[in-house]
Structure 1
Amino acid sequence: MPMISSNPDTLPATDEPGPDLSGLRLALFSGNYNYVRDGANQALNRLVGYLLRHGAAVRVYAPVVDEPAFPPTGDLVDVPAMPLPGRSEYRIPFALGPRARRDLIAFAPNAVHVSSPDVAGHRAVSWARRRQLPVLASVHTRFDTYPRYYNLAWIEPILTAVLRRFYRRCDGLVAPSESMAQVLRDQRMNYDISLWSRGVDRDTFHPGRRDMAWRRENGIADDDVVIGFLGRLVMEKGLDVFADTIDDLTRRGFAHKVMVIGEGPASAWFQARLPHAVFVGFQGGTDLGRAVASMDVLFNPSVTETFGNVTLEAMACALPVVAAEATGSESLVENHVNGRLIRPGAIHSFAEALRAYVTDPALRARHGAAGELRSHDFSWDRINRAVAETYLRLIRQKRAQR
């Protein structure tokens, strides 16, 4: 059975003390642990690294591909999966598979973590419930909002009901923001919902990464005000709203430059839609920190994120953020303090918020500084410790129930 092991020490750690996790044996199920890079799977890899450093035993069950986006942290066991129709870069686990089941039995976990409500995740929950093992589910994206971007909004109530059945079979949920946790409570997904927020690597993201020479190399003048997009180029990130807003700003005669960081299946559409924008493609590590810090304001119109890693990274680089008033962003952006929160899809309001930052450098600096100060609250080790303590609590509760 394919199994890949990687050194968890490749992920940054801090010196903050943590709990003794030597008694924890965790089976983690993910639909995408490392084959396509996104904020959710990078958070999972950081969590596994933290658990291993504090003595836990962890086994990850997820699809394995020949050329993953990055090496996995910990031991990775392959599960059967097939390409997602129309989005072949993603794979859908459709079973646990006999070999993964044998490995599970041999590993003998005392807790199970499911991070995706796919078929393999459902099977993992059933496997754990039969053995009276606690199950924690982490919520990483607003799956219930995706159909509206593909003219299938009528499916959303059905999808919400399917998700409710999945999450109610778990012993607890962790959500990346209080706003997302409240959405889950309102949807009656579970009655044990705690927070697993996100951290930011301050060695990578800080104002000192700003590089004027790099900007010039990409055709950006020193006095250009750069409105940035950061993320995977897929329609559910609000690319249409971003483009329509930029059109509105341009028609009103406010000079600016657009920089797009990322790649994805909608790249060609976005480049055709914004022919004058600077597309710098995928950036990683310190290159990503340089690109983000070289913007002047981040525009994040997406409503599908449950946290908004890109928003936090921009804040750490002292950028003001204009974002949709939605889960995730609401927990990071304080309106008129470190950015603006705008009603989703309100093109003219988005454009007006951007206009204020384009034309007022003092406002940009003041709100950027406030965001940078706010970003100091997000320590990866402190955040991951909360998840580790949730595992231990659920194990204690399950033992008491027995």
Structure 2
Amino acid sequence: RLQPSPTGAASAVMAAASALSPHRGWALLLAFGLTATWRSSSPSAPPAGEGDAAFAVTGHAQKPRLAGNFAAVAAAARPAAPAAPAWPGTAPAPGALLAAGGLLAVAASGAARRRRACGAVGGAPQRGARSREAVAMCGKPVCAGVVITGGAAGVGYAYADEFVRRGHQVVICDIKDPAAAVSALQQKYPDAKGLIYGTACDVSSIESVGKFVDFVKEKIGVVHYWINNAGINGGRRRFTELTPETVEAVVKVNLGGILICTHAAMRMMEQQVGVESHIFNTVGSGVKGGGTPGYVAYGATKRGLPQMTDSLVREIEEGVQGYDKMETSGKVNAHVLSPGMVFTDLLLNDSTPELRKFPFGVLAAQPEEVAADLVPKILNVSGNGKSVEFLTTDKILVKFFERFILGKKSEYIDDDGNVIKFPGAQYQDNGVRVLY
């Protein structure tokens, strides 16, 4: 069983909150509380510094409870966490009280900040100044046109499932023909005829993306949401152990592919008269500049996406200095999308038991959980340049509190770092659950 050190836990909490400076004080309080709790309640805890490597990786995923039959299976396979921790002695450790206080303050602060934010994701949608076609109350499409790259597997497929379930028209593409994915969704939703289409597309190829855009226009016409989800990581290896071809492929798909797809999508969207549309660029580990050992090329490609997106936002809103601001028939907005740690091939390939225990067992989520959380946020986004996240800083701290203070077990990873396989579900050799 993993026994993280107080120093490692504190470092993880501080790393998780480092992106949002207003929360650093509360994160420090929580880190101090965690440290004090371990020192007061665990006399056999490893010395400071031991186990720090286990906390070197921080993720971006929040895992709400599964809905439907899968939730019932999960509950049966793993006993529920105790209602209250078994504190040493008769009263909670002082450090735990500090941790809990800091945690609640962060959660309250995060909720208040989101309520105050004008047009924030998940908040009240704002009606645009210009009238848009195919809109319902609050300025949102009645039946939106949605494009998802990398939509035949993992979280991309889960996005498609959630959009179709809500009655929106969806076009997916993947490097291989996604006919099986399309067929699975058509069988799952028999009344959704005409809502899901798919075709093969290499997002790193200008020619292939051009043909894909033509396919999208033919099948659904207007596009309101374009999700750049396709990506690869090249495998978990030392940088010099990767072949030059693998390094090139990661850069071409993850960065070049998003640039090419965004360029093609914007050109199409700017011609959609009276339509406001949104492009979402998927980020991942390395996005904030921290090191990603084992994924050097992948992290470098993700680091560039916020800069690219910010540049697009300023160009759209302010124009290019020295040139007249371009007015287009359709309004385009650009955002970043963070699905976090998701139990897919991208996460579990080449993983070790230690990584699966932490951070995966604490922070990672199943694809449909991520989609159920993010799709409503995508549909409710308003304005330009937003960051749509599955796991916010306050949620990370809640997950840490549940795991390291309350002792809550992972629903998906056992104490030995193995994937928990639920009855009735099928799994690949790497532990990824088969979605269809």
TM-based fold match above 0.5: no
Larger RCO, structures 1/2 (Cα 8 Å, 6+ apart) = 2
**TM-score category (smaller protein):** 0.3 to 0.5
TM-score, normalised relative to structure 1: 0.36
Greater radius of gyration (CA): 2
- TM-score, length basis structure 2: 0.34
